[in-house]
Amino acid sequence: MFFVDTLEFEGLGNRSYLAGGASAAVVIDPPRDIDQVIAAAARRAVRIAFVAETHVHNDYVTGGLELARVTGAQYLVPAGARVSFARTPVADGDTVTVDEGMVLRAIATPGHTPHHTSYALAEDGRSVAAFTGGSLLIGAVGRPDLVEPRLTEQLARAQHASAHRLADELDDEVPVLPTHGFGSFCSSSQAEGDTTTIGRERKTNDALTLDVDAFVAQVLAGLDDVPAYYAHMGPANAGGPAPVDLTPPRRADAEEIASRLAAGEWVVDLRSRMAFAGGHVSGSFNFEGEGKLATYLAWLIPWGKPVTLLAEDPEQIAAAQRELVRVGIDRPAAAATGDPAGWIREGEQLVSFPRARFADLADVRERGDDVVVLDVRRGSERAGGYLHGSVHVPIHELHGRIGEVPDGTVWVHCAGGMRAAIAASLLDAAGRDVVAVDDGFDAATEAGLPLTHPEGTD
């Protein structure tokens, strides 16, 4: 009897899969930190016989090469992918026997990348799972614009054809198990729900309900910003990622933290935004360990800049390390834990800034106070409506554009509070007076703050 275990990585919005039978299994799109994959296989008491990539990933560093090396598994990589390491190239229609009566078949599904390949797992000749990577997702498809701008429309058309091929070749009850779509920026839109089947997608996925021209127009119109670190992921994966080192980083004392800040390095406080606002090291940045740490830190930090991590306990540092290696930030320069008072030199003080709700902003405006309202949401979010008179600088652009923020106390908001906290820390480190709005955007209307809708929107 077959099994499929899902390994979920909420920070990146991705999933990997371990699938197999009584004695052997295949791993689809593994994370870079392979220890948890090995542990999952051990719990099942199965041998990892194959490691399969659906494509050369743009949004994270794979652990496939190292996992295959450690386990002795065959490393299946689409034949069209240009890589510089030894692997077993797979082409459309190729099959491997995972376990007795269990066959994995490669299905060429270009669109997310030109070489993208999905895999159908069959038991005794009946398809039981479709691993669709960045092709057919839950209610969406993988975005087609991450390879080369000139190929975007062509790949969008290929996505439409690939989705139809999967729907034509697989029965309605076959589970669709994508890698992307759970918050990943590799998805053309975000998943609704947690599971799906070919039959459900046939009824609800625009790739299967719209004609190709309407589908392509919709996909191209909906493409959003691409995280800057994506530019480094594909080359790292094609070159063959090195093994990871998750041993604890060297311990930094207050003098070293101050020295690294003075050198222009990044000191990142992983504590909650509430704790950070209440007292933090001057010049440090707040990226919550419980938020989308890997996505936003890797997106904002100048690539290759040393980073020192601050947290309440070593477990938070370890969790952050694991998140960061997945996006190529391999080793923190140093780390410190414990009481934040121990992170500053004698005679210095922690600094703070206020947090507020949209109702507080409404009160301030009602009094006639002259404040700057900074919206750090993405452009696609702002297109749905924004606070009248607000300034817009998306969070991923703010570090390089702080000088464009008008003078005055800055009330910074996003859609829920996490990105506003990052932005507030950037502004605070730059010496600006800031108030972090920690509130859902719907509360702005409830507070009576007027919204402006761009021309052409509701």
Distance (Å, rounded) from C-alpha 119 to C-alpha 245? 31
Do residues 119 and 130 make contact, with C-beta atoms less than 8 angstroms apart?
A: yes
Q: For the chain, what are the domain ranges? A: 3-239, 254-343, 355-420+431-452
Query: Has residue 107 got a pLDDT over 60?
Result: yes
Band of residue 311 on the pLDDT scale cut at 50, 70, 90: very high
pLDDT at 189: 63
Query: Has residue 200 got a pLDDT over 80?
Result: yes
In sequence order, what are the beta bridge partners of 127?
122
What residue has token string 């933090």? 280
Rounded mean pLDDT of the chain?
95
pLDDT at 191: 59
Helix (H, G, I), strand (E, B) or coil at 441: coil
Query: Has residue 456 got a pLDDT over 60?
Result: no
Dihedral pair phi/psi, residue 247, rounded to 5°: -65, 155
pLDDT at 126: 97
3-state secondary structure 101-169: CEEEEEEECCCCCCCCEEEEEEECCEEEEEEEECCECCCCEECCCCCCHHHHHHHHHHHHHHHHHHHHH
CB-based burial label for 241 (10 Å; 0-12, 13-18, 19+): buried
Q: What is the largest CA-CA distance in the chain?
A: 75
Distances (CA, A) of 114 to 41, 157, 179, 378: 31, 11, 17, 28
Instruction: Please give the average per-residue pLDDT across 153-182, as a whole number.
Output: 96
Band of residue 192 on the pLDDT scale cut at 50, 70, 90: low
- Provide Rg for the chain, Cα atoms: 24
Band of residue 184 on the pLDDT scale cut at 50, 70, 90: confident
CATH 3.60.15.10 fits 3-239, yes or no: yes
Distance (Å, rounded) from C-alpha 391 to C-alpha 388? 9
- pLDDT tens digits, one per residue of 402-440: 999 999 999 999 999 999 999 999 999 999 999 999 999
- pLDDT tens digits, one per residue of 345-392: 999 999 999 999 999 999 999 998 889 999 999 999 999 999 999 999
Q: Count Cβ atoms below 10 Å from residue 169 Cβ, excluding itself.
A: 15
Helix (H, G, I), strand (E, B) or coil at 342: helix
Distance (Å, rounded) from C-alpha 144 to C-alpha 187? 9
Band of residue 182 on the pLDDT scale cut at 50, 70, 90: confident
What residue has token string 């950037």? 426
- pLDDT tens digits, one per residue of 10-39: 888 899 999 999 999 999 999 999 999 999
Query: Has residue 93 got a pLDDT over 70?
Result: yes
Instruction: Please give the average per-residue pLDDT across 249-268, as a whole number.
Output: 98
- pLDDT tens digits, one per residue of 147-161: 999 999 999 999 999
Instruction: Please give the average per-residue pLDDT across 196-208, as a whole number.
Output: 96
**How many distinct helices (H) and strands (E) make up the chain?**
16, 22
Helices (H), 45-110: 64-71
Residue type, 64: G
The fold of the 254-343 domain, in CATH, is Oxidized Rhodanese; domain 1 (3.40.250)
In sequence order, what are the beta bridge partners of 5?
18
Band of residue 197 on the pLDDT scale cut at 50, 70, 90: very high
**Architecture (CATH level 2) of domain 355-420+431-452:** 3-Layer(aba) Sandwich (3.40)
Q: pTM (2 decimals)?
A: 0.93
Band of residue 458 on the pLDDT scale cut at 50, 70, 90: very low
254-343 and 355-420+431-452: identical CATH topology:
yes
Query: Has residue 457 got a pLDDT over 60?
Result: no
pLDDT at 290: 86
Instruction: Please give the average per-residue pLDDT across 211-215, as a whole number.
Output: 98
pLDDT at 188: 63
